[in-house]
Structure 1
Amino acid sequence: MPGKLTVIIVPFVLFWLTSRVWSATDDPFPPPGKLIEVSQKQLHINCTGTGSPLVILEAGLGGNSLDWVKVQPMLASFTRVCSYDRAGYGWSDGDALPRTSARSVYELYGLLHKAGEEGPYLLAGHSFGGFIVRMFASLHPDETSGVVLLDASHEDQFTSLSHNNRQKGRGMRLGAGQPRKLMVPEGLPEEAKLIASTLAENSRAMISLQSEMRHFNDSIHQVRYTPMPPYIPVKVISRGKRVWPEGEKGDRMETAWRLLQEDLYQRLTPASSGLSHQIATLSGHYIHLDEPRLVVRAIRKMVLNQRRLALLENRHDK
């Protein structure tokens, strides 16, 4: 299976990076997409493929559009898909305002409309990006066809995890100590890792990361009090691999995280949707890098379901 996956992914990755990233001679790493002014700053968005619904890829803390380099080419083979860089990350300008979920939703919505990328949108969010896609769906339900959560953040994660490991409570609250791992995650192809490492050296990336961490509790408050409509389909995918160290404390942390993920599923996924809580057994926190085909299959299933519903609605209208 790993060999087959490599055969499928590597040509896509090499083509995407070579044709889009190294096409210019004056800049070794120009943006693969386009820069669009939103709220007096340039934000980078990279859209490929054709079809509806439009899939939006939202990275976690410290992440950027390169985090999706394994899944975007495959998604683009059957629908339109956009990855982008939040302010300060990747190729986007920085921002002095607090980096909260609400701020990111406001900018993403403006970016999509200025880029001419119309809905309906199917939003996939990893980790902290889960807050952003949930808020987007809450504020723009008529333009949201579905949400996919990849080992996503939970409103109660600091309370729960800190309770199980009091000595590390502050570290988990701030996400301190591993900024480079957030900006250059394991699992990136070497070509993308080189670019991500270069982009991570820019001070604006660290400033944005620190701001998102500093205002994480604000984001929690925003998400908690802006619930999603229950009719929007939600697919929850959680990691299956252990990330906390072996031992009693690590066991408690792993159990706490699994319970948080199950709670997300129970609260956000209506029983009538037929969507299950999926465990990515071969994945750590970055499911889209560890098992990209699993993520693509889940999104593809939701895309096809939305197309069937749209077809039925069109027939009914006639």
Structure 2
Amino acid sequence: MRTLPRGELVTVGGRRIALYRAGAGDPAVVLLPGAGLVGLEYDNLLRGAAELTTAVTYDRAGTGWSDDIALPRTAAAVAEELHEVLAAAGIEGPYVLAGHSMGAVYARRFAQLHPHDVAGLLFIDPGHEDILRHLPPEVVALNERMKPTWDALPDLTPEQIEASRQALSQLYAQWPDDIRTPLVEHRLTHWRTGIAEGRNLEDEVYAELSAGGPLPDVPLIVLTAADKNPFWVQHMPPELLEAAHAGVLALHAAIAASVPRGEQRLIAGASHQYLHVQQPGPVLAALRDLLARVGTG
């Protein structure tokens, strides 16, 4: 077990789960990291949300400073783990769940399984099983051609590690010193975790969500990164890039329209993976609006 730089360990199902909490009040805001990311990478949102109510984030089993587990996992397993962690930590629902990328996928599964424990939802540039229906056929074909053979990816070279260390240190320059250094080193050591977590997303997890039923009738805000996908920028002509980006916007609009109190917001100056780092203000504003709509105690 790696030394936890901050937070606490909560034991559920025989495994220790790293939990980070701050603030006080109801309903609690629960931040669900994206694939390959961990709770400490959302420290800026944790501290901001803690000024409004109880704020919580965590490391899923198999990630961060939580105990290891075989990856990938079903969305139901991840959702039930979070439900048990919150109960064991004495954090009562209903919750405002804020999930980023694959974390939004897991938040949606939590809402399907425990609708009465959800007061509001914030999806930060979420994934969804209908994505291919909204993309031009040329983009779908390109994605298929460009998929790497994950098992054959070589280890990072010392030069790549150092370049990544500098980039991540700059990215998290505003993070407290006791968090930034272990966070950066963890990312450099465990960069394959995100690959492992997402391996079953497009088949098993998306099928699970599709069959899981609708979202509960709670306030929902979907945040969409307005900047173009960096991978697409490198491999698509401008007209196809615009069509692909329009498809993502349409998908997120459809997610917002799937519930009576849904809303989509475009976030300028942000790309998918680090929207919460590049533009924390609009994320916190969305949380503030959701808390106002559901009422705080």
Tell me how large the CA RMSD over aligned residues is: 3.1
Normalised to the residue count of structure 2, the TM-score between the two structures is 0.81
Q: Does 1:57 align with 2:39?
A: no
Q: Is the counterpart of residue 239 in structure 1 residue 225 in structure 2?
A: yes
* 8 Å contact kept, 1:152–1:261: no
Counterpart of 1:224 (choices 207, 210, 214) is: 210
Question: Which residue number in structure 1 is paired with residue 185 of structure 2?
Answer: 198
Task: Pick 1 or 2: higher relative contact order, CA cutoff 8 A, min separation 6.
Answer: 2
Shift of 1:98: 3.7
1:233-278 per-position Cα deviation (integer Å, ceiling 9, x unaligned) = 21011011123326744653453344234323324435752x5311
The CA distance in 2 between the partners of 1:201 and 1:248, in whole Å, is 29
Which structure 1 segments of 5+ residues have no match? 1-26, 311-318
Deviation at 1:92, TM superposition (A): 0.6
- Which secondary structure does the structure 1 equivalent of 2:263 belong to? coil
Q: 1:161 to 1:263 in 2, by over 3 A?
A: closer
SS at 1:197 equivalent? helix
Q: Greater shift after overlay, 114-123 or 94-103?
A: 94-103
Q: What is the number of equivalent residue pairs in this alignment?
A: 278
Of residues 266, 269, 273, the one that matches 2:254 is 266
CA deviation map 1:134-169 (0-9, x unaligned): 111111110101111111112133576593332442
What does residue 72 of structure 1 align with? 46
1:122 aligns with 2:96: yes
> How do residues 170-189 of structure 1 correspond to structure 2 at under 5 angstroms?
171-172=146-147, 187-189=171-173
Counterpart-to-counterpart distance in 1, 2:266 and 2:169: 20
1: CA distance, partners of 2:241 / 2:12: 39
Cα deviation 1:105-158 (Å, max 9, x = unaligned): 011111111111111100011111111001111111101011111111121335
Deviates more, 1:81-90 or 1:259-268: 259-268
Is 1:292 aligned with 2:280? yes
Q: % of aligned pairs identical?
A: 26
User: Comparing 236-245 with 117-126, which one deviates more in the overlay?
Assistant: 236-245
CA distance in 1, matches of 2:269, 2:137: 28
Residue of structure 1 equivalent to 2:267:
280
- The residue matched to 2:295 in structure 1 has which SS? helix
Are 1:100 and 1:218, in contact at CA under 8 Å, matched by a contact in 2? yes
SS of the residue corresponding to residue 83 of structure 1 reads strand
Which AA in structure 2 matches 1:307? G
Letter matched to residue 81 of structure 1: A
Cα separation, 2, equivalents of 1:225 and 1:281 = 33
Task: Say which SS state the counterpart of residue 253 (structure 2) adopts.
Answer: helix
Question: What is the TM-score of this pair, normalised by structure 1?
Answer: 0.76
Aligned to 2:75: 101
Aligned-partner residue type, residue 215 of structure 1: N
CA distance in structure 2 between the aligned counterparts of 1:168 and 1:225, rounded to whole angstroms = 25
Unmatched 5+ residue regions in structure 2? none
User: What CA distance in whole angstroms lies between the structure 2 residues aligned with 1:227 and 1:256?
Assistant: 27
Structure 1 residues 185, 259: closer, same or farther in 2, change over 3 A?
farther
Counterpart of 2:254, as a letter, is Q
Name the CA distance, whole Å, in 1 between partners of 2:142 and 2:60: 32
